[in-house]
Amino acid sequence: MLVACDKTAQQAAAAAADSTAISAASTAPVTVIDDAGRTVTLAQPARRVVSLIPSATETLLALGAAEQLIARTRYDVAPEVQHLPLVGGSVDPSIEMIVSLKPELVVSWESDKRQQFRERLTALGIPIFMLRTQDTTDVFRGLANLGALTGHTPDAQRVSTALRAQLEAVRSSVQTLKVPTVMYVVFNDPPMTAGPKTFIGQLITLAGGRSIFDDAATNWPNVTMEEIVRRDPDVVVVPVGEFKAQALSRLKVMQGWRNLRAIREGRVVAVPADLLSRPSPNIGLAAEVLRSAMHPQFPSPVAEPDSIPDRAPSRDSAVKN
């Protein structure tokens, strides 16, 4: 009995020590190197954050930082942020609106070349963290960095561990299956797909498929319809979002696309664009969706969208994520 009580007391003391450590960390200075190679230092974890990247917003929500978000872009779809002030688009936000909200941290694209935007915020003493969003490695690095910047490092570690386990479960489930060839349609006219070094390309491989353009040298290559027909994919995967109904029927009769065996035989799978286009902790769910698209014996964890794009989505919403 005394041993049990002593053990309980030790556990309580350890929990209290952990709580104290977390509390201390939440007010301690933070320094990280962002994905543009810049040193970002905060006097303490940011309590007021503006995320200009939808996938970063999703990451912050997964970390439990919803109450620290003070704005949204027009591409943020999570219910948790719909009540927040709108600052515009992801690549064309209102600087005046951002400044008026008095953020302690702004999360922006590593590939953003708008020097004036960065200089103005920096001159006003607003720290900017530049985030890279190309491959799955970026997702895990982003989790760690955003966790540190917002005081959620333990949550970042927890989410990362769960995400790795989810991805490994998908990978191991398809190891012995035949590998279908896949055309992932980023745009349909002119055709664009995802290269092998993007998170989409990597998830296709992990989920048991092979992109017909796994030899692409760029991340988002434009490809010819003639080459798509020549490579003749087993499955066509199309992300669906803000598009008109009946577009699948149009795709089936479009010049070139209608010549594909996958189109003729009905192996065209619609997947949610918001899920597949954003490298966040939701890539685990995206991998499960892709596995279902390529291996139909696995049920999809989400409902299949009922429309296929009949126009190219904006570059901001399709490639910027």
319 or 187: which carries more pLDDT confidence?
A: 187
Q: What is the Cα–Cα distance from 293 to 299, expressed in whole angstroms? A: 9
Domain end residue (candidates: 159, 190, 222): 159
Shared domain for 60 and 91, answered yes or no, is yes
pLDDT for res 240 = 82
Q: What is the pLDDT of residues 88-113, one digit of tens each?
A: 988 888 999 999 999 999 999 887 76
Range of the domain at 293: 174-318
pTM: 0.84
**Is 119 within the bounds of a domain?**
yes
Q: Give the Cα separation of 321 and 55 in Å (integer).
A: 6
Do 302 and 220 belong together in one domain? yes
Q: What are phi and psi of 131, to 5 degrees?
A: -110, 135
For residues 45 and 131, membership in a common domain is answered with yes
Distance in angstroms (rounded) separating the CA atoms of residues 41 and 35: 14
Q: Is residue 241 part of a domain?
A: yes
| CA gap 224, 190 in Å, rounded | 8
Q: Which of 281, 317, 310, 231 is nearest to 63 (CA)?
A: 281
Distance CA 204, CA 194 (A): 10
Question: Looking at the structure, do residues 178 and 152 belong to the same domain, yes or no?
Answer: no
Asked if the structure places residue 1 within a domain, the reply is no
Q: Are residues 284 and 223 in the same domain?
A: yes
Q: Are strands 181-184 and 128-131 parallel, antiparallel or unpaired?
A: unpaired
Same domain, residue pair 284 and 151? no
Torsion 242-191-282-305 (CA) sign: positive
Count: domains in the chain: 2
Q: Which of 115, 130, 159 is the last residue of a domain?
A: 159
Say yes or no: 257 and 151 in one domain: no
Structural tokens at position 145: 């960095």
Question: Does 147 share its domain with 254?
Answer: no
> Is 166 part of a structural domain of the chain?
no
pLDDT digits (tens, 9 = 90+) for 279-311: 999 999 999 999 999 999 999 888 766 544 433
